[in-house]
Structure 1
Amino acid sequence: MQLLVDLLERNWEHAEAFQDRFDSVQDAQEPDVVTVCCSDSRVLQDQMWGNEDPGHIFTCGNIGNRVVQRTAAGEAVSGDVLYPIEHTGTKTAVVVGHTGCGAVTATYDEITDGLSEPAGIEHCLGLLKPHLEAGVDALPDDLDRTEAINRLVEYNVDRQVAFLRESDDVPADVDVIGVVYDFQDVYSDRRGEIQVINVNGETAVKTLRDDHPAIESRIERLWEY
């Protein structure tokens, strides 16, 4: 129970700080961006953007930062990602992968060796697997396991971006961005820094830097396959 006491004390501090910040969004929301992040305790979904504004970011989370949902009619854009695009006028979607992703690791292991997981986890990995199989096949042979996983993290982000852009449910004027959140010193020694790896399907680093000079220093990839 002490953990709950501690959590509620932190919530009290939160409520004190945010007392007046909900005035303009109590009855409706028009978030500027929808993000889909990996459900991982190390991925600070709002703090990574320095967000302290209710109504600014529509945050979704699941293992593997998936935008894909399986329906009776086949694969579709997940409803939690699609909702703000469909109903609140949100025009920017950001897929947030992260270094050392456990879901990508488990999917890699499932593809290469086979795994046994509880049904709920198996379902989630099953949504990732068909989108990552080609990436696993394309991995260079000289990579160690850690390097392979972090390249697949980028590949997974690319596949989720592509799924959004190819869906008839997502209007063509919605910008879809792919990024990687790094807390393992993979891209730099600035833990928690975000690297942009994909903008509306473009993944070539030089092209991205030429097209987006304002964020040139934040554009990096490990793998241009």
Structure 2
Amino acid sequence: MDRTVTELLRANEGHAREFASRFDAVQEAQHPEAVTVCCSDSRVLQDHVFDNHTPGRLFTCGNIGNRVVQRTAVGDTVSGDVLYPLEHTGTRVAVVVGHTGCGAVTATYAALTDGLSEPPGIEHCLDLLGPHLEPGVDMLPDGLDEADAVNRLVEYNVDRQVGVLLDSDDVPDDTGVVGVVYDFQDVYGGERGEVHVVNVDGERDVATLRDAHPAVADRIRRLWEY
């Protein structure tokens, strides 16, 4: 067996010892407080981002580009892995988690501007992001380098994914939808690894959001108010 897998199994021994009793309350069912839709980038430690050590607290979805959309025979729709906890476990909070320097956003930006070609599986994922990002690419200010353009599009992508959830008839009307960006590249000026709120139920204006949510006003920041 590959050494990496052996090391993962050994690391799991410590996890099993620490968490054994924490599964008692969720043996038969789950009622997570929130569903999070994170990018599957290896630098985004999805549960650790929120210091989650409680089985059953978060229903965590991951894919490249933190997409809430999947393609079906009837067209693009909200992904089943996002809908499941909203439909079946009483969850009423959805959090879309983008991150600085997102590779999926970078690749989609390149595909839209330079015609980047990827293997079919990756191309399918980028095709799901492309229609949502294309208007944002057209709106970018002149003179941005690629890193700055990508980080603005990260916010734009989060906004668009939030919008998909808010507009979907499949998502319960009383679901709160929040968009955030996880920053491990010192882009937002806070601590490395902080999550910054950029969108709450479709509202993007920083001043309005800070007035409405004073308890977390210092965590509400945007790079791009378009």
Structure-2-length-normalised TM-score: 0.98
Partner of 1:18: 19
Partner of 2:63: 62
Partner of 1:145: 146
Identity of aligned residues (%): 69
Partner of 2:34: 33
Q: Which runs of 4+ in 1 moved over 3 A?
A: none
1:115 is aligned to 2:128: no
Report the CA distance between 1:88 and its aligned residue. 0.4
Partner of 1:200: 201
1:106 is aligned to 2:136: no
Structure 1, unmatched stretches of 5+, are: none
Which whole-Å CA distance do the structure 1 matches of 2:15 and 2:130 have between them?
A: 39
Counterpart residue type for residue 100 of structure 1: G
Report the CA distance between 1:152 and its aligned residue. 0.1
Report the CA distance between 1:189 and its aligned residue. 4.8
1:214 is aligned to 2:193: no
Which whole-Å CA distance do the structure 2 matches of 1:193 and 1:132 have between them?
A: 24
Report the CA distance between 1:142 and its aligned residue. 2.1
Query: 1:67-78, aligned counterparts within 5 Å?
Result: 67-78=68-79
Report the CA distance between 1:2 and its aligned residue. 2.2
Q: What secondary structure does 2:101 align onto?
A: coil
Partner of 1:90: 91
Which whole-Å CA distance do the structure 1 matches of 2:131 and 2:197 have between them?
A: 24
Which whole-Å CA distance do the structure 2 matches of 1:26 and 1:152 have between them?
A: 41
Query: 1:126-205, aligned counterparts within 5 Å?
Result: 126-205=127-206
Report the CA distance between 1:69 and its aligned residue. 0.7
Which stretch of structure 1 is more off in the superposition, 100-109 or 3-12?
A: 3-12
Report the CA distance between 1:207 and its aligned residue. 0.2
Which whole-Å CA distance do the structure 1 matches of 2:174 and 2:23 have between them?
A: 29
Which whole-Å CA distance do the structure 2 matches of 1:74 and 1:3 have between them?
A: 40
Which whole-Å CA distance do the structure 2 matches of 1:17 and 1:193 have between them?
A: 26
Q: What secondary structure does 1:19 align onto?
A: helix
Which whole-Å CA distance do the structure 2 matches of 1:209 and 1:89 have between them?
A: 28
Counterpart residue type for residue 53 of structure 2: E
Which stretch of structure 1 is more off in the superposition, 147-156 or 188-197?
A: 188-197
Report the CA distance between 1:72 and its aligned residue. 1.1
